[in-house]
Amino acid sequence: MTESDPRRRRDPSSMSRARRYTPRGRTVREAAEGAEDNRARENGARDREAARRERNRTAQQDEADDLAARRRREAAARSRERRQRETGVITEPRKPEPEPKRAPARSEPLRRTGTVRPTPTRRTGPINPPRRGGPRGTVRTTGPIEVRPLASLPRIGNPRRRLRMAAAFVMILLLISGARLVQLQVTDSAAYAAEALNQRLTTEPLPAERGAILDRNGNRLAYSVEANYIAVDPAMVKGEPAEVAASLTELLGRRASDLEAIIAAKETAQGEPIRFAYLQRGVDLAIGDKIREMENPGLIIGEDERRVVPGHDLAANVIGFTGGEGDGLGGLEAAYDDWLSGEDGEVSYERSQQSGLPIPGAFYREEEAVPGNDLQLTLDDKLQFQVQNILEETVKEHDAEFGSALVMEVGSGEMLAMASTPTYDAANPFKVDDPEVYRDYATQATVDPGSIHKAIVFAAALEEGCIEPDGTMALEQTITKGGQVYRDGYEHGDAVLSLAGIIAQSSNVGTIELADCIGPEKLYEYQLAFGLGQPTGVGIEGEASGILQEPQNWSGTSPGSVPIGHEGTATIMQMAALYGAIANDGVYVQPTLIDQKVEADGTVVEQPEPATHRVVSQQTAEDLQYLLQAPIAAETGTGRNAQLENYHLAGKTGTGGLVVDGEYAPGNVTSFVGFAPAEDPQYVVAVSVYVPGGGGGGSTTGEAFKEINEFALGYFGVRPATEPAPEFDVWG
């Protein structure tokens, strides 16, 4: 055959002899041409023989395995039949499973070339053969491959069903959203709208203008002027609270730590938000403008007022002062706070959360403030100024600790001047070292009145007929009561003194004997009638009532001590009212500081007449008005240094004690109380000072008593006396 013969191309080897490769990578043709061709053929024959033997061993092993399995099945069947016989239960005999047919061993196909090609051994067994790393001795079985049924294919989704489910889900979302919208816009709309309004709404107070305090001539002693208040909305403050407080401390005059605490507090103790809190009130308009330039939306600058006291310390202890919130804290400012303060208003508006400015056209509501009313006093500012200066000079000259001085109009009970020292600047009331400076010593300091109390005994003795105005009494130098010896200050030995002499020399012995004539019960009645033991009601808040002992509470020494002004206390205001009753022809008139109340529209509120009552007869009062000139006019009088040219004065000196913590303090409380002119009393003057170093009433306060009377009589235009002062025969 030729190379191109078709039969040659159908060689069973399916490869041309030229393209067959040996294991060394050469073609058969190349191998045949070499010297190694015969050796290769011998190696191939050995390989084919080894494969055939392996197949035979495998077939034999399979037959042995099948025989062992058949025997096991037969043994199991016999065992089952035996159990059935023993239990009596006969079951259908199980049909033996047909033995799997084995494929006949394939014979080695013959090559068309006449050579036999070894067929590779096909391994049979389970689909997942055991790993090579399994235990040794495991026999690999051969046989037909078990074909497992495939799992069911996944179900193809239904597009329409998916669309229906998606549509239902969308509808549910729409229904929920719609229901929520209905809830927000219908049922809860009012609540949310109110909450939103509250976040934008700001309510600021409109402080009412506080009424003015005027003197009897209409001069303003205290009044209010336009100012600013500085407040804070903590929720809108820009910047750290510490930084904002540091920038405000110098402008507001407050410590930065105090301001920081207010600015940083955004909630109350109950958890409610704070939208308005005062930082300072009564700030000058210029300072308000500087804070406004800071452009911090959390700082609120509003219209306010500031209290002005032009006289500073003029009648400061009487007028009192106001606090940071504008309410009265002392004196008349506190006693008449409701009348002066008025009613505050308020303004509510919506403002921007960014700039803090009002929103145009938004909610706005304003309640106007009702201004306070004015209070016109009976004080005269010029007389007050002079009396206050005289008192301060007296206190300074005698190293006194405190003092007070009064001028009261006889008949009306109006207080024309009320001075106390030490005092303070009512325009800056909190810049003080000792809070005692706030005290009004005329109404709030109680002391042993001393000899100025003797006027009650003289009036009662005349009224009860124990002595005549020109009567005399034989007196010794001393008298003993309850084991206590009482001595006259003026050395006279055993002598006869007229009633004028007893008053002029302030005789303790004569006064005690007159009190014995009156009796304790009657003396107590006159003390009450002259206003002791109860506040006068002049108008100062916190006025003291003093101590007045009832006769059943008297001790053994009381008959000697009480008549001369001891074992009881009183204020200088009570003693001034006492002498006012004598000067007013025996009629007691309640002292008053209030001239009239004036409403904000100018309407004058009619004031009730002061309470009055008669204590002694007019004749007794006139006799005593004459006799009380003796301490000043008589040669042995205790108030000789109070003599005033061109005017006749009447009065009585006193030396009492000051009780501190239940014990008498060192020194004396010296006083001088009287009236002028003596022949036609117009004004009562009272001066009292506490001198720790001691001193007499005349020597300490006599000069002040004279100077105050001199200025008052000249200031009010009282005509001088046309007759000389009376001469008194103090010796009987």
The single-letter code of the amino acid at 389 is N
Stated as kind and residue range, the H or E segment containing 470 is none
β-pairing, 668-676 vs 650-656, is antiparallel
Measured in degrees and rounded to the nearest 5, phi and psi for residue 282 equal: 70, 35
DSSP-assigned letters across all residues of 17-54? TTT-B-TTS-BHHHHHHSTTHHHHHHHHHHHHHHHHHH
Q: Rounded distance, CA 390 to CA 702, Å?
A: 12
- Per-residue confidence (pLDDT) for residue 14, from 0 to 100: 47
CATH (residue range 202-377)? 3.90.1310.10
Residue 132 has pLDDT above 50, yes or no: no
Interval 126-146 mean pLDDT: 50
Using DSSP's 3-state secondary structure scheme, residue 408 falls into: strand
Nearest partner of 260 among 245, 275, 248, 249, judged by Cα: 245
CA angle, residues 416, 421, 422, in degrees to nearest 5: 145
Residue 474 has pLDDT above 70, yes or no: yes
Of 300-309, 578-587, 651-660, the least confident: 300-309
Residue 684 has pLDDT above 50, yes or no: yes
Residue 332 has pLDDT above 90, yes or no: yes
Cβ atoms of residues 658 and 447 within 8 Å = yes
Q: Please, which residues have CB within 8 angstroms of residue 370's CB and are 6 or more apart in sequence?
A: 208, 342, 343, 345, 600
Buried b / exposed e along 636-650 (16+ C-beta atoms within 10 A): bbbbbbbebeebbbb
- Per-residue confidence (pLDDT) for residue 186, from 0 to 100: 75
Cβ neighbour number for residue 5 with a 10 Å cutoff: 9
Residue 579: exposure state from Cβ atoms within 10 A (0-12, 13-18, ≥19): buried
Interval 585-604 mean pLDDT: 94
β-pairing, 668-676 vs 495-498, is unpaired
Q: Rounded distance, CA 56 to CA 437, Å?
A: 135
Q: Please, which residues have CB within 8 angstroms of residue 61's CB and are 6 or more apart in sequence?
A: 139, 142
- Per-residue confidence (pLDDT) for residue 91, from 0 to 100: 52
Residue 142 has pLDDT above 60, yes or no: no
- Per-residue confidence (pLDDT) for residue 135, from 0 to 100: 47
Residue 354 has pLDDT above 70, yes or no: no
221-274 pLDDT tens trace: 999 998 998 999 888 888 899 999 999 998 998 889 999 999 998 888 888 888
Torsion sign across C-alpha atoms 251, 253, 257, 259: negative
Using the 8-state DSSP alphabet, how is residue 589 labeled? Answer: E
- Per-residue confidence (pLDDT) for residue 54, from 0 to 100: 81
Stated as kind and residue range, the H or E segment containing 302 is strand 299-308
Highest mean pLDDT of the ranges 301-310, 618-627, 658-667: 618-627
- Per-residue confidence (pLDDT) for residue 119, from 0 to 100: 46
Measured in degrees and rounded to the nearest 5, phi and psi for residue 136 equal: -70, 155
| More confidently predicted of 228 and 456 | 456
* CATH fold of the domain at 381-715: Beta-lactamase (3.40.710)
Q: Rounded distance, CA 630 to CA 613, Å?
A: 27
The pTM assigned to this predicted structure is 0.71
386-437 pLDDT tens trace: 999 999 999 999 999 999 999 999 999 999 999 999 999 999 998 898 999 9
- Per-residue confidence (pLDDT) for residue 559, from 0 to 100: 96
DSSP-assigned letters across all residues of 708-726? HHHHHHHHTTPPPPSSPPP
Cβ atoms of residues 433 and 459 within 8 Å = no
Residue 47 has pLDDT above 50, yes or no: yes
Please name every residue paired with 683 in a beta bridge, in sequence order, or none if there are none. Answer: 409, 676
DSSP-assigned letters across all residues of 92-148? PPPPPPPPPPPPPPPPPPBPTTSPBPPPPPPP-S-SSPPPTTS-TTPPPP-SPPPPP
- Per-residue confidence (pLDDT) for residue 42, from 0 to 100: 65
Q: Rounded distance, CA 124 to CA 119, Å?
A: 15
Q: Please, which residues have CB within 8 angstroms of residue 669's CB and are 6 or more apart in sequence?
A: 447, 448, 450, 655, 656, 657, 658, 688, 689, 690, 691
Q: Quick one: angle between helices 572-583 and 618-627, nearest 10?
A: 110
**What does pLDDT average to over the chain?**
84
* 364-368 long-range contacts, CB within 8 A, separation 24+: 366/206, 367/206, 368/206
| More confidently predicted of 487 and 144 | 487
Using DSSP's 3-state secondary structure scheme, residue 404 falls into: strand
Using the 8-state DSSP alphabet, how is residue 552 labeled? Answer: G
Nearest partner of 689 among 680, 698, 676, judged by Cα: 698
516-571 pLDDT tens trace: 999 999 999 999 999 999 999 998 988 999 999 999 999 999 999 999 999 999 99
Per-residue confidence at 180, pLDDT binned at 50, 70, 90? confident
Interval 28-39 mean pLDDT: 54
Residues of the chain above pLDDT 70, percent: 81
**Cα distance from N-terminal residue to C-terminal residue, the chain:** 200
